[in-house]
Structure 1
Amino acid sequence: MWVVLVSPSASAWEQLRSDAPERYEVVPGDTLWGISSRYLHSPWQWPSLWQANPHIRNPHLIYPGDVLVLGNCQGQPCLSLERGQGIVKLSPQMRTVPEREAITPIPMEVVRSFLREHRVVEPGENLQELAYVVGGDNQRLISGAGDTLYVRGQVPARTPLGIYRPGEPYIAADGTLLGDELINIGEARYVSSEGDIARIEVLSAYQEVRNNDILLPLEDRELSDTFMPRAPLNDVAGQIVAVPGGVRFIGRLQIVALDLGSQDGLQPGHVLRVNQQGELVNDPRTQELLRLPETEAGLVMVFRPYNHMSYALVMQASRVLEVGDSVRTPTQ
């Protein structure tokens, strides 16, 4: 679904970059965000220029070889699509031609890799009440793939299981708990149980499995390739509260945790502007201590919202971003 977001006070032509090409041929490795950056100052405004092509069966899917054309539609700029034919010359023998894959909105593998390794336990779900590893065969303290573990607590019998280790709690600026980070250690399956002790088999392990690691049903890691960059419909304001992995300085294509979530109206694909606090300076005449205005520093896109917080991908960074930088709905 395309969401049109055009400021009524600004000409649509002002959205365009001065060096925007009239034609652009899509190449392997392109993303919708990257292409729209070639045309627009604000890449999430792509839908406002999109001209649907009724003769193309799903014009929202764009493939390498397709050509995007910038034109004039009744005095307003618009983008249309010339579908590439994908012609392949065949020799007399049988040949397999791979199916074309549509380009993605953002570098999806960066996000998928992160989701394989991280999840969040919402506030109110006590980590101490979750099933946990109490031992391994032959009194092993460290286990790996193929080993048998013993777990205390409720373990579902027919559900793929994830093995997790608690990371850092995510805390808002006012001290409110937003959620607890869990790091994925591996995957397992239920074998049997006696009383509150379950026997499980470790199917894969990315790190050694230790006593007190947590067992939970695997979180749904599917991420739609079809979500589109767009600004939230409501005004939201929050902060970057953490960088998973403990990195202090943040750049493009790094993951950040925000103190905003679905309860604030955030959805996958929502774009937020990052602002950095202005410096403190002394007024040379009054000697007052003044805070300079905030400076726009980048853009992040939400890809996994929880109730009270979200994970977002840094799409642009004109400065080095830091924990504590503010995020808000971008101006159009």
Structure 2
Amino acid sequence: MWGTGLALLLTATLAQAQGLSWEQGLRSDAPDRYTVVRGDTLWHISGRFLRHPWQWPEVWQVNPQIRNPHLIYPGDVVYLYDCNGRPCLGLERGQGEVRLSPEVRRIPVREAIEPIPLDTVRHFLRDHRVVDDPESLDELAYVVAGNDRRIISGAGDRIYARGELESGQRYGIYRVGERYSDAATGETLGLELISIGRARAGHSEDGIALMEVLSASQEVRNDDIVLPLEERELISEFVPRAPDHDVDGTILAVPGGVRFIGRLQVVALDRGRHDGLETGHVLQVEQQGERVVDPRTGESLRLPGTDAGLVMVFRPYERMSYGLVMQATRSLEVGDRLHNPRRGVGVVQR
């Protein structure tokens, strides 16, 4: 659960597993105490103390001072202390818990601190999905006509769709977006589908179903795709961590066509489940070094690349993934390289 992940953050003991010292594990400007405020996130809080916010799940150990630490709330205090020569993080419960014998009353879950800015992810997942095999589109249900011979339809209108549709079931209506391809081989990695709206299927005859459009962000057109609504919960498996194997990929695209990329923007990556990526994996972004001319030999040289940010995978598909830019020291671009985070070098959040 999200709450379990949050508990791990503040019950982290940096001395375990990695053997981090005061110098290795903490930021030089880490505070002694920090009071959690509304709007904080797991990443933001851990980044105030740790040089690498994504490292905390790898080194955590339950702090015996905290009993059943399921959630972190505004008003709780995170404090730094020494345990056997190593830095540890403790938690003092603030306004998030009121002890009333014989029960403990907690602030509702909706007011607890989130791991990352979830609204950005939820909004994106509501409007985007990927088909791994574009050839399968021919087998999916699709809009064949609007009611009264309308070319476009909207909320409250009726449409006709052809395909296997179950009466009474709600479906998503999608339009084909960008075709994601491998830059080197040209291989198709996935086909983006953009949400247009939702509709409920009614009675059907000879494979054609009458549907009522329940909501629409754009006009519904003939040939739009009709798919069962996708379950998109990001709860139990969402724990930020480095991949346990080498990853070498690139930023494939930015949904919406933006060229320069900043913090909290969604990016498409050219690696997916086939390459071992999972929800929560954190990748370093490396920008290619500039080309310069050797002043003595006249040779064209490529300068070493520069680490420029961190991306967290939140929705992996078979051959590609969607990720959220968590940190950026400069504007990122399509084509920037992705690899495992470097433990020796921190990235300053901008």
TM over 0.5: yes
Equivalent-residue separation in structure 1 for 2:17 and 2:250 (angstroms): 25
Equivalent-residue separation in structure 1 for 2:79 and 2:57 (angstroms): 14
State the match for 2:288 in structure 1.
277
State the match for 1:255 in structure 2.
266
State the match for 1:104 in structure 2.
114
Equivalent-residue separation in structure 2 for 1:238 and 1:326 (angstroms): 6
Letter in 2 for 1:179: G
Q: Is the 8 A contact 1:51 1:79 kept in 2?
A: no
State the match for 2:298 in structure 1.
287
Letter in 1 for 2:279: P
Letter in 2 for 1:247: V
The partner residue of 1:27 within 25, 30, 37 is 37
- Given the superposition, is the C-alpha separation of residues 44 and 83 from structure 1 closer, same or farther in structure 2, using an over 3 Å criterion? same
State the match for 1:204 in structure 2.
215
State the match for 1:300 in structure 2.
311
State the match for 2:339 in structure 1.
328
Does 2:167 align with 1:170?
A: no
Report runs of 4+ in structure 1 exceeding 6 Å deviation.
Answer: 3-7
The partner residue of 1:39 within 49, 72, 78 is 49
- Given the superposition, is the C-alpha separation of residues 328 and 152 from structure 1 closer, same or farther in structure 2, using an over 3 Å criterion? same
Equivalent-residue separation in structure 2 for 1:274 and 1:7 (angstroms): 26
Equivalent-residue separation in structure 2 for 1:316 and 1:54 (angstroms): 32
Is there any run of 5+ residues in structure 1 with no aligned partner, and where? 89-96
Equivalent-residue separation in structure 2 for 1:10 and 1:146 (angstroms): 60
Mapping 1:62-81, distance limit 5 Å? 62-81=72-91
State the match for 1:132 in structure 2.
142
Question: Displacement, 1:7?
Answer: 8.4
- Given the superposition, is the C-alpha separation of residues 57 and 11 from structure 1 closer, same or farther in structure 2, using an over 3 Å criterion? closer
State the secondary structure of the residue aligned to 1:126: helix
Letter in 1 for 2:188: L
Question: Displacement, 1:14?
Answer: 1.6
Mapping 1:48-67, distance limit 5 Å? 50-54=60-64, 56-67=66-77
Q: Is the 8 A contact 1:52 1:80 kept in 2?
A: no
Is there any run of 5+ residues in structure 2 with no aligned partner, and where? 99-105, 344-350
State the match for 2:195 in structure 1.
184
Equivalent-residue separation in structure 1 for 2:61 and 2:140 (angstroms): 51
Letter in 2 for 1:142: I
State the match for 1:14 in structure 2.
24
Letter in 2 for 1:258: L
Equivalent-residue separation in structure 1 for 2:221 and 2:208 (angstroms): 16
- Aligned length, in residue pairs: 325
State the match for 1:243 in structure 2.
254
Equivalent-residue separation in structure 1 for 2:97 and 2:19 (angstroms): 45
Question: Displacement, 1:305?
Answer: 0.5
The partner residue of 2:226 within 202, 215, 236 is 215
- Given the superposition, is the C-alpha separation of residues 72 and 226 from structure 1 closer, same or farther in structure 2, using an over 3 Å criterion? farther
- Given the superposition, is the C-alpha separation of residues 87 and 173 from structure 1 closer, same or farther in structure 2, using an over 3 Å criterion? closer
Q: Is the 8 A contact 2:73 2:95 kept in 1?
A: no
Question: Displacement, 1:98?
Answer: 5.9
State the secondary structure of the residue aligned to 1:61: coil
Q: Name whichever of 115-124 and 222-231 sits farther off.
A: 222-231
Q: Is the 8 A contact 2:73 2:96 kept in 1?
A: no
Q: Percent identity?
A: 63
Letter in 2 for 1:108: L
